[in-house]
Amino acid sequence: MKATQQLHDLGQSLWLDNITRELLDSGTLKRYIDELSVTGLTSNPTIFDEAISRSNSYDNEIRRLMGSGLSGENAFFELAIEDLRRAADLFAPIHQRTSAVDGWVSLEVSPLLAYDAKTTVEVAKALHQKAARPNLFIKIPGTPEGRVAIEEAIFAGVSVNVTLLFSREHYQGAAEAYMRGLERRVEAGLSPDIRSVASLFVSRWDKATLDKVPTDLRDKLGPAIGQRAYKAYRDVLDSDRWQRLENLGARPQRLLFASTGTKDPKASDVLYIGALAAPNTVNTMPEKTLLAFGQHGSIAKPIPRDGGDCEQVLSEFTKAGIDLIKLAADLQSEGAKSFDESWQDLLKSIDTKSKALR
């Protein structure tokens, strides 16, 4: 049995962190669903930038949009929504079979709105309505301002993928915003069955500390952060507050392990997959990592309910001079800035392509 199937059978969803028109047109995404147990996917500005700038698959569509007078962000969302609708339709049978637990695709609001809660909610509602697919998540950053938007979007009935989470505390903030949104729906007489995932970024922790810690601690910080967040996730699900919501019809906001491609060339290319195997969670992985795990991956054992030895490992990093709280804040800030830059690059790519096609 393939390692991907074993992970799926354990109860962890494997999502692809990629989407291109070639993946759809060639049937490759369908093959990943059939052969590698892929049950969803995520996207971001960098992925779309590379997809649009490095191929001619979007040229005809860009010409059509130019003829309609669309450019910039408006043109991008037309292109992205077309791809994500097609992907959502491929995953629709999984979405139906799992009663909406799985089979999701994700579209990100403009990263430039990371600190503008009001506009984020307005855009999230508009994109969700425009896409017109029940298995589409709108990605909203889990910044302090973003939490306000997350609560409002959930209250408005928009399914949300909370992105840019880097620590247990970030995850807890996202879970709090999710539950507040659901509680407000209950108070308003609305169904609390609005789905969400909370995306914890993992590999950037190790990339940031690679040359700052002893050799025996290399590549151990990301897994430990993930395991600590998993314990917090299980604590939320066991809480009286959550169980009350669940009794009223709510479903868990699943913890999603993101940024799981290995950054250290000396480490295993599937480092974060086996280390973060856990039931009722998601691991969204780059295409290269997915293929590698399918070829030579293995699962030793799932994350223990209590996070295993994560606190001991994290204390070793503290002793080595790593300020975990500060680093989490820095990584989130840098992540937001990186997404901003990717967004600007994406819009430039569309503009350059448009001028070339004229």
Euclidean distance between CA atoms 206 and 222, whole angstroms: 6
pTM, full prediction = 0.96
pLDDT digits (tens, 9 = 90+) for 276-301: 999 999 999 999 999 999 999 998 89
Q: Which domain holds residue 186?
A: 3-357
Other residues' Cβ atoms within 10 Å of the Cβ of residue 81: 18
The whole-number average pLDDT for the span 22-46 is 95
- The share of the chain scoring above pLDDT 70, in percent, equals 100
Number of structural domains in the chain = 1
Euclidean distance between CA atoms 260 and 258, whole angstroms: 5
pLDDT at residue number 309: 97
pLDDT digits (tens, 9 = 90+) for 73-99: 888 999 999 999 999 999 999 999 999
The whole-number average pLDDT for the span 247-255 is 98
User: Could you confirm whether 139 is annotated as catalytic?
Assistant: yes
pLDDT at residue number 311: 98
| CATH number of the domain residue 82 falls in | 3.20.20.70
The whole-number average pLDDT for the span 5-12 is 96
pLDDT digits (tens, 9 = 90+) for 111-125: 888 778 889 999 999
pLDDT digits (tens, 9 = 90+) for 228-242: 999 999 999 999 999
DSSP per-residue codes, 302-332: PPPTT-TTHHHHHHHHHHTT--HHHHHHHHH
Catalytic residue among 118, 125, 130, 139: 139
Task: Output the CA torsion 266→270→273→276 (10° steps).
Answer: -20
Percentages helix, strand, coil for the chain (3-state, rounded to 5) are 60, 10, 30
Total length of the chain = 358
Grade residue 51 by pLDDT with cuts at 50, 70 and 90: confident
Buried b (16+ CB within 10 A) or exposed e, 302-320: bbeeebbebeebbebbeee
